[in-house]
Amino acid sequence: MRCLLLCLLLLSVTVGSAANLDDVELVKAVEWQDLSLPGTSPQENLYQSFSEADKGLAGWVVYMKETQPEKIDSDDADLIEDLNKAVENFKARGFDWAEYRDIRNSGAGKVNPAVLKKKVDLPGFLLPVEGKENMRVLVPWIGKAHDPPPPANQTVLVTVPEEMNLPLPSLPVFASGTLQAGSGTSRVRLEAGSIEIKTAYTMKISAVKAYEE
């Protein structure tokens, strides 16, 4: 369903150059949840405690139940079974997909002031932006064209220096740069098709290096 960051092979080559850190505060590395505002509800806190796989599954449930009802065909018994099983499993753990959807939708574009104007190393995938060779969208996972994209405050629109060589979009990296607030929508290329992704952050990349746990 998704190609998760921790399930991919690691890169072995480091590219890019160091940034001038004189006017920014250094943060060695941040987690994607740091880009969201701290949870203020039991549902949000419960979601943040999930594994990356369960977070992806929760997003899929919301997407299929709310935004893609036409994809749930009464003849597609396997899809319906998988969806119902996921809903029941989450319910048994106290997670309500509809309540979480409402919380996510209300806060999806809100940035965390604590990470702004700071030099960060953020793990993810750099997806090409259609029509803009020097732009990428940094995301925590790669989905398929019919999968839901991450929330806006879990994505970063990045500017890439012309001289920088980047790995394939399917390979995970650490991208370094200074986070800024900036909302927008970009259409990115996937292996099969393309998808529009909303972003709440921007960043000019200063270095890209191999992803390592």
pLDDT at 41: 73
Q: Round the average pLDDT of the chain to a whole number and report it.
A: 77
Which residue type sits at 142? Answer: I
Burial (0-12, 13-18, 19+ Cβ within 10 Å), 142? buried
pLDDT at 195: 86
131 domain residue, yes or no: yes
Full DSSP string of 132-150: EEEEEEEESEEE-TTSPPP
Please report whether residue 121 resides in a domain.
yes
- Output the domain CATH number for residue 203: 2.40.50.870
Q: Which residues contact 166 (CB under 8 A, 6 or more apart)?
A: 15, 126, 136, 160, 208
pLDDT band at 17 (very low <50, low <70, confident <90, very high): very low
Same domain, 77 and 133: no
Question: Tokens representing 64?
Answer: 């299929």
Q: Structural domain of residue 82, as residue ranges?
A: 42-107
Write the pLDDT tens digit of every residue in 177-196: 999 999 999 999 887 778 88
What are the helix (H) ranges across 6-158?
42-48, 52-62, 77-92, 97-107
Segment 120-153, tens digit of pLDDT: 889 999 999 998 989 999 998 887 666 778 888 8
Over residues 69-108, the pLDDT tens digits come to: 666 666 677 888 888 899 999 999 999 998 888 877 777 7
pLDDT value at residue 90: 95
